[in-house]
Amino acid sequence: MQMNVSTRALHAFVTLAEQRSFTRAAALCHLSQPAFSALIRTLEDDLGARLFDRTTRSVELTAEGRVFVESARRLLRDVDDALADLRDHAARRRGRVAIAVLPSLAAGWLPPLLADFHARYPGIELDVADVLSDDCIARVRSGRADFALASTRTEAPELRTESFCSDGFHVVFRRDHPLARQRGALTLARLAPHPIVQLARSSSVRQYVEAAIYPSQLHTVLELEQLSTVAGMVRAGLGLTVVPSLTLFHFDHPDLATRALHVPELKRQVFLVRRNDRALSSAAQALYEVVMAHRPHPTARKR
Amino acid sequence: MQMNVSTRALHAFVTLAEQRSFTRAAALCHLSQPAFSALIRTLEDDLGARLFDRTTRSVELTAEGRVFVESARRLLRDVDDALADLRDHAARRRGRVAIAVLPSLAAGWLPPLLADFHARYPGIELDVADVLSDDCIARVRSGRADFALASTRTEAPELRTESFCSDGFHVVFRRDHPLARQRGALTLARLAPHPIVQLARSSSVRQYVEAAIYPSQLHTVLELEQLSTVAGMVRAGLGLTVVPSLTLFHFDHPDLATRALHVPELKRQVFLVRRNDRALSSAAQALYEVVMAHRPHPTARKR
DNA sequence: CGATCTTACGGGATTCGTAAACATA
DNA sequence: TATGTTTACGAATCCCGTAAGATCG
């Protein structure tokens, strides 16, 4: 049973039922009285039921009208609720946004940003996947994440990849390490003699470093999964390590010293990846804007 | 927040969300593709939210669209339910009708009529008030009854009273009563010597009888409220009684005899009373029609 | 280049408001 | 007669369908 009903007609109907006067109801609906009368008559014709008993002196609901006015009121309320819900989402008062972020960014750079975001949009739920770069991309591609910060550039037609920031590398070692006494710019060659604690090969950080010094190799003494564990190992004196500058907060400890690596080709590029064929939801757009506002500047290094 | 949404637009939206193709969805909605496109765009503008991500090759819901499509589906279902409910009432598949009927009609004439009515309209609830004439009128006037069968004509502007049927009177007595041997037409004068069992003065039947013989009086030996009790008293030999012909079924007993009273001015008029300013509900109209179809004919007397 | 959505535009239906006719207390 | 609803009608608006244009794969 296909048929058309508009909220305007329902609202007119309910108003007339309440006012029991075409003149007053028409005024409330901002219509001339004859136009209002026609609207009601059309509604009655469409519904196939007389809704009002009209005499020139009184307007009263019929039995069918009394049945329908309850439905109409509920329908109008439901429509309002649905529209309010939609508007809440559009206005960023409600919603959900899922992102995927490299662990190296998720641990240090992200938390204050999310605190800021949540303070500004308390109704928006957040879902952060702190996963490795390939997984970040996969989540965007499958729609599980609205956008991602990853370090591998993927050329795919359905993905839009834009440069987000670039990150230099730092060397971290114990203050009693021989490098602490060395002056001048640090190069990869100067690191070669020293034992190095590194991340696992699956990490993009490790891949960057290996690519930069290829074909020569560093003297890897230990491979780990987590940067915080790396920090502990370096503090224990097992060796030095090379990490992106944005992750230095892991190594903020009185026993440790850090120095920038002056190797131009050794720069970690971080990309913001999102789907090309989908607009960001309002919630995602809000987070996107905050992310962009907190975008790390190359010159602004911690410590 | 005043705004207009039509089920047509919602249906178009849901169809497009399901088909993910303007061309297919337009065909399903019996619209040209450009018209359909405009409809969707208008809806998006009205809602103030983009509902679809469109590329020439794919049409996909936005996050807001996914939020709203659930609401839209539910709204459409609710509208359908409301319309079906209204149609059920209009089509007499559901509803409720309340009538008020004189007890003398309610006990004998009404039951088979209602059985017929219920068989034809099983979804309609019935509310029968078997009350005295004045109460019948009061119930119609206050709206507690859709219409009534009463015996007092009331001239009121808001009531429409039409003649329903007229009912002669019968005398009922025991077969061993002296009247049983009497030949010729029965007149009130012939009843005068005999003790009579009567209904209470509040009954319209009693009032009819008293008005007809005024200023003379009958020899009332007993006053009762219920006709069935009157029948018992007559069977016990306490006296004869005079009742409307339609109530004779109360006296259907081998010990009792009945004879018509040939008194032209002694006729009980039964009126159908309803409100003048209100149309009957579909359910009430249905019962009205059945009542009219079962209208007792003056010549068709039981027994 | 083919499929698909959007824009442009003329014709037709719908709907509006003013004015007059009509109905009831 | 006064109040309030319906009918009549010209005008503005909205909406539809055809045709042309734009876009992506």
Of B273, B268, B267, nearest in space to B162 by CA: B273
Cβ-proximal residues to A184 (8 Å cutoff; 6+ apart), any chain: none
Report the pLDDT averaged over residues B71-100. 91
Report the pLDDT averaged over residues A3-13. 94
Measured to protein CB atoms, the chain C nucleotides within 7 Å are: 2-8, 15-20, 22-25
Here the tokens at position B47 are 């809602």
Query: Would you place residue A191 in the very low, low, confident or very high pLDDT band (cuts 50, 70, 90)?
Result: confident
Of A177, A221, A166, nearest in space to A198 by CA: A221
Report the pLDDT averaged over residues B22-32. 93
Is a pLDDT exceeding 60 seen at residue B237? yes
Is a pLDDT exceeding 50 seen at residue A126? yes
On whether the CB atoms of residues B195 and B187 are closer than 8 A, the answer is no
Query: How far are the Cα atoms of A42, A228, B188 from residue A107, in angstroms, in the given order?
Result: 63, 10, 111
Which residues 263-282 of A have a C-beta within 8 angstroms of B? Answer: 277-279, 281-282
Query: Would you place residue B22 in the very low, low, confident or very high pLDDT band (cuts 50, 70, 90)?
Result: very high
Least confident of B18-22, B104-108, B141-145, B215-219: B215-219
Min distance A74 CA to chain B CA atoms (Å): 9
Query: Would you place residue B299 in the very low, low, confident or very high pLDDT band (cuts 50, 70, 90)?
Result: very low
Q: Which residues on B lie below 8 Å from A89 (Cβ)?
A: 49, 63-64, 67
Percent of all residues in chain B with a pLDDT value above 90, rounded to a whole number: 62
Cβ-proximal residues to A220 (8 Å cutoff; 6+ apart), any chain: A195, A196, A197, A198
Q: Please give the CATH topology (third level) of the domain spanning A7-90.
A: Arc Repressor Mutant, subunit A (1.10.10)
Cβ-proximal residues to B106 (8 Å cutoff; 6+ apart), any chain: B128, B130
- CATH 3.40.190.10 segments of chain B: 95-166+268-293, 169-260
Give the CATH architecture of domain B95-166+268-293: 3-Layer(aba) Sandwich (3.40)
Of A295, A256, A107, nearest in space to A170 by CA: A256
Which class is B169-260 in CATH? alpha beta
From the C1' of C4, which residue's alpha carbon is nearest?
Answer: B56
For chain B, say whether A285 makes contact (Cβ under 8 Å): no
Q: What is the pLDDT of residues A43-95, one digit of tens each?
A: 999 998 899 998 877 888 998 899 899 899 989 998 998 998 898 998 899 99
Q: Which residues on B lie below 8 Å from A81 (Cβ)?
A: 71
Is a pLDDT exceeding 80 seen at residue B156? yes
DSSP for B1-34, written as a single string = -----BHHHHHHHHHHHHH--HHHHHHHTT--HH
- CATH 1.10.10.10 segments of chain A: 7-90
Is a pLDDT exceeding 90 seen at residue A298? no
Displacement of CA B109 from its chain's centroid (Å):
15
